[in-house]
Each structure stands twice: as C-alpha cells, then as structure tokens.
Amino acid sequence: MRVTLEEIPPVEVLNSGVLIRIRDEDGKNVGRLWVGQAHFRWARANVAEKNAKKYPVRDFVEFLDGLT
C-alpha cells in the first residue's frame, strides 16, 4: 500500500480536515480517508467525497481499540 497525506494543517486539524489517500502497490486508488475534528469519512476507490461514509471519531477509536 501507498499512503500519502494531503492538505495537512500546520498544527491542528481544522474544519476542512486532513485527507489521507491510500493506493495499492501499483498506484491504483484504494480510497480516501478524511480526518476531521468530529468525524472520519471513508470513500472507497473514486466515490465522491459527498457520498463518503461518515463515522464519529469516538466510534472510529472504539473500532481501533477492538483490533488489539
């Protein structure tokens, strides 16, 4: 996987959030993850941002905790 960070604010996540683009080894777009102050949004492949699945940060953290 290739992961790039885009639109990174200098200190904290602002209202526009941070975009993490994820690509496979061949450079094909796997999806995009927007990290905001209150929500994470995930869009697989080339799904438009407005159609991305939205998850509260608290739910996302609980999901990550469940992986350990």
Q: Which pLDDT belongs to residue 53?
A: 94
Q: What's this model's pTM, rounded to 2 decimal places?
A: 0.74
Segment 44-67 mean pLDDT? 92
In the chain, domain spans: 2-66
Amino acid found at 28: K
pLDDT tens readout for residues 3-46: 777 776 665 676 777 888 899 989 899 999 998 888 899 999 98
pLDDT value at 65 more than 90: yes
pLDDT of residue 54: 94
pLDDT, residue 44, reads: 95
